[in-house]
């Protein structure tokens, strides 16, 4: 029997039963109208609000991986609660959702830690939604069994993100793997302002320049609560041969609720390796 991390958000942030959750996620995935994607998908960027708000956007990222069969999925997310640790992972052996359990790849975690001079702290019963919210999409989009490497990036320093990205790339070489970077964009601006800020941050993502993401945050030109997770992913993906970021979808919570006075921005994208 695996030691399971119980879900603190099933039934609130997303549907609580297997049948309803599978149907809702499939509905989002099937509705995603993907543009042409040219290249091998190395990683994706997806938002992490409740499915009713950002599920339609997140589905674009996960619809793009339906043909993939990775053995390992790395999910990089922020950590919204306080903890005095730069990098965090679960102490449990598996994540539990209404769609089933996803085992944590302990050997991959050990290998990553061996390549990294920053400790990855194990925490039991964390409440972090930004990592878990992506799992039902992975469970429905990927048809094969896969293991999970969950990393919550609390530190917001470029040096930490760069070291994590480099270590991830070294660990993932010659593995069948996918990286998911979980982030929302600006929070609680009016719709017009949010679009300006989010357009700039999405441009930074597409520039494939992780340093510019931190620069946008520091100069208030754009915001992403998972910007360090995205930057880590980009550093790793670049070392793994990726050379392009393609944004697939953008929307705000106001597009769902109709309230444009105070919105949260959501973007979905893929990170691609050109096929020669």
What confidence score (pLDDT) does residue 161 get?
A: 98
Instruction: Return the closest-CA partner of residue 183 out of 12, 49, 53, 64.
Output: 49
Characterize the bridge pairing of strands 40-46 and 177-182.
parallel
The answer to whether 39 touches 158, Cβ cutoff 8 Å, is no
Question: At a CB cut-off of 8 Å and minimum separation 6, what does 155 contact?
Answer: 86, 87, 118, 161, 228
What confidence score (pLDDT) does residue 93 get?
A: 98
What confidence score (pLDDT) does residue 232 get?
A: 98
Give me the domains of the chain, ranges plus CATH numbers. Answer: 4-39+60-177+198-273 (3.40.830.10)
What are the pLDDT digits (tens) for 136-183?
999 999 999 999 999 999 999 999 999 999 999 999 999 999 999 999
What confidence score (pLDDT) does residue 62 get?
A: 98
Instruction: Return the closest-CA partner of residue 57 out of 245, 250, 247.
Output: 250
Residue entry with tokens 């053995």:
71
Instruction: Return the closest-CA partner of residue 236 out of 204, 268, 210.
Output: 210
What pairs with residue 14 in β-bridges?
10
What are the pLDDT digits (tens) for 17-27?
999 999 999 99
Which residues in the chain land under pLDDT 70? Answer: none
Instruction: Return the closest-CA partner of residue 152 out of 65, 63, 258, 81.
Output: 81
What confidence score (pLDDT) does residue 275 get?
A: 87
What confidence score (pLDDT) does residue 276 get?
A: 74
Integer Cα distance of 206 and 20 in angstroms: 35
Cα→Cα distances 2→122, 176, 274, Å: 16, 24, 39
Integer Cα distance of 135 and 4 in angstroms: 14
């Amino acid at each position: 029997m695996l030691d399971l991390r119980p879900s603190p958000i099933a039934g609130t942030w997303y549907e609580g039963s297997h049948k309803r959750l599978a149907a809702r996620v499939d509905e989002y995935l099937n509705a995603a109208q993907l543009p042409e994607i040219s290249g091998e998908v190395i990683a994706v960027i997806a938002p992490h609000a409740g499915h009713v708000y950002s599920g339609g956007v997140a589905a674009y990222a996960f619809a793009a991986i339906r043909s993939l069969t990775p053995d390992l999925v790395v999910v990089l997310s922020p950590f919204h609660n306080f903890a005095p640790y730069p990098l965090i992972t679960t102490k449990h052996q598996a994540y539990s959702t209404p769609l089933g359990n996803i085992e944590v790849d302990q050997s991959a975690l050990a290998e990553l830690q061996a390549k990294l001079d920053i400790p990855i702290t194990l925490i039991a019963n964390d409440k972090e939604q930004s990592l878990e919210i992506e799992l039902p999409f992975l469970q429905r989009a990927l048809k094969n069994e896969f293991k999970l490497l969950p990393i919550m990036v609390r530190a917001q320093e470029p040096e930490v993100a760069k070291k994590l990205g480099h270590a991830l790339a070294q660990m993932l070489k010659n593995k069948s793997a996918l990286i998911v970077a979980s982030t929302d964009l600006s929070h609680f601006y009016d719709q017009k302002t949010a679009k300006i800020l989010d357009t700039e941050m999405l441009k930074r993502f597409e520039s494939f320049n992780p340093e510019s993401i931190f620069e946008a945050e520091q100069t208030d030109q754009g915001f992403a609560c998972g910007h360090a997770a995205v930057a880590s992913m980009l550093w790793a993906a670049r070392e793994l041969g990726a050379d392009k970021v393609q944004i697939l979808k953008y929307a705000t919570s106001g597009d769902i609720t109709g309230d444009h006075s105070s919105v949260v921005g959501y973007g979905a994208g893929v990170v691609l390796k050109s096929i020669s």
